């Protein structure tokens, strides 16, 4: 069975009423739950002038209190920015509030501003990340933690209360390149693949992830994050979604993450992004794209971002979630 989650937009457009934005995010989570989605995920960045929400776990707790079935995740928490003992405690509390529905998606981070906010260096992110995962697992499953590493030293540390989920909430590891894929196989309960790579490139890297996980006797699950949207016709879907999609991908371009062949922001258009990269269009278009990703890379879980800073509007997102739940999800159940 293929599962589906929603990746929320917590990056406000200029002039956004932030209290209203929180209400809309919670309402979209409730709509996703009603419409048969399996999970709802929240993102993180820091020092953004627009007010990008920097704290996914408090928002996850708010959503947990207003929903009953849907799983709630971080997509992703930038693990090197957290002290792992504090993160273990916060996640345990959210898991209790949600009655065992938390998924902790973690990544290494890539933006200098995120690290500078905490006096950290991007160059230290790998060791911070690897030690963080080890400490999290041990804090959730051991009575007392003793740990001596390159970045952290813990003596006789007790994390209470423990999470509801046993042995602990699943840890999904975000990865892009070859070495991060291997790291996800060594350390993660699932791979959270990025929203940019096309099937032919991702297929080889997913094979690295699976081979590494199998060699360590670890579980492997492929979660693909995609930008996506559904409407009665492909033309309507593109018309409603394009402006918001470009807003987000031009943000990525400004931070030097992707599209290095593009010289000017305005040159990044929908043609360059490519419809093949998206789950976008009519219900049949979306079904076809999910089938391709499942066949080519073995993805059995899809996180779809329906909303961006530039749109679509909240009311349209609610309609799109309903249409996807009525026409796409049942095809894979």
Average pLDDT over residues 101-109: 97
- What count of other Cβ atoms lies within 10 Å of the Cβ of residue 74? 26
pLDDT of residue 261: 86
> What tokens appear for 61 in the block?
């707790």
Q: What is the share, in percent, of the chain residues with pLDDT greater than 70?
A: 100
54 with 44: CB under 8 angstroms?
yes
Mean pLDDT for all residues in the chain: 96
CB 52 within 8 A of CB 11: yes
H or E segment at 92? helix 84-97
Domain harbouring 264, CATH code: 3.20.20.30
DSSP letter for 50, please. Answer: T
Residue 241 has pLDDT above 90, yes or no: yes
The pLDDT of residue 145? 98
Mean pLDDT of 7-12: 96
- Whether the per-residue pLDDT at 256 is higher than 80: the answer is no
DSSP sequence for 96-125: HHTTS-EEEEEE----HHHHHTTT--GGGH
User: What is the extent of the structural domain holding 84?
Assistant: 3-332
209, 220 Cβ separation under 8 angstroms: yes
246-267 average pLDDT score: 86
* pLDDT tens-digit series, residues 59-84: 999 999 999 999 999 999 999 999 99
pLDDT at residue number 27: 98
**Distance in angstroms (rounded) separating the CA atoms of residues 126 and 132:** 10
Number of domains in the chain: 1
Top pLDDT among 254 and 162 is at 162
């Amino acid at each position: 069975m293929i599962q589906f989650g929603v990746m929320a937009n917590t990056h406000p457009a200029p002039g956004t009423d932030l209290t209203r934005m929180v209400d809309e995010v919670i309402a979209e989570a409730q709509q996703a739950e009603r419409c048969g989605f399996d999970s709802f995920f929240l993102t993180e960045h820091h020092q953004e002038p627009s007010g990008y929400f920097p704290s996914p776990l408090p928002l996850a707790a708010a959503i947990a209190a207003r929903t009953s079935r849907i799983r709630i995740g971080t997509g992703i928490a930038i693990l090197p920015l957290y002290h792992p003992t504090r993160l273990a405690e916060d996640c345990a509390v959210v898991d209790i509030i949600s009655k065992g529905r938390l998924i902790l998606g973690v990544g290494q981070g890539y933006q200098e501003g995120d690290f500078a906010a905490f006096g950290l260096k991007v160059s230290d992110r790998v060791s911070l990340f690897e030690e963080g995962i080890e400490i999290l697992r041990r804090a959730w499953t051991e009575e007392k933690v003793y740990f001596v590493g390159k970045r952290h030293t813990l003596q006789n540390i007790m994390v209470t209360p423990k999470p509801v989920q046993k042995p602990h909430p699943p840890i999904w590891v975000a990865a892009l390149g070859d070495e991060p894929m291997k790291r996800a196989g060594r350390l993660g309960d699932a791979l959270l693949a990025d929203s940019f790579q096309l099937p032919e490139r991702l297929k080889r890297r997913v094979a690295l992830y699976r081979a590494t996980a199998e060699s360590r006797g670890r579980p492997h699950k492929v979660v693909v994050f995609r930008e996506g949207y559904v409407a009665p016709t492909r033309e309507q879907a593109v018309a409603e979604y394009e402006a918001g999609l470009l807003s987000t991908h031009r943000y990525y371009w400004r931070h030097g993450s992707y599209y290095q062949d593009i010289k000017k922001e305005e040159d990044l258009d929908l043609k360059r992004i490519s419809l093949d990269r998206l789950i976008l269009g009519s219900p049949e278009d979306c079904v076809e794209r999910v089938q391709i990703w499942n066949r080519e890379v073995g993805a059995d879980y899809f996180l779809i971002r329906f909303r961006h800073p530039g749109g679509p509007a909240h009311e349209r997102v609610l309609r799109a979630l309903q249409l996807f739940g009525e026409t796409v999800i049942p095809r894979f159940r």
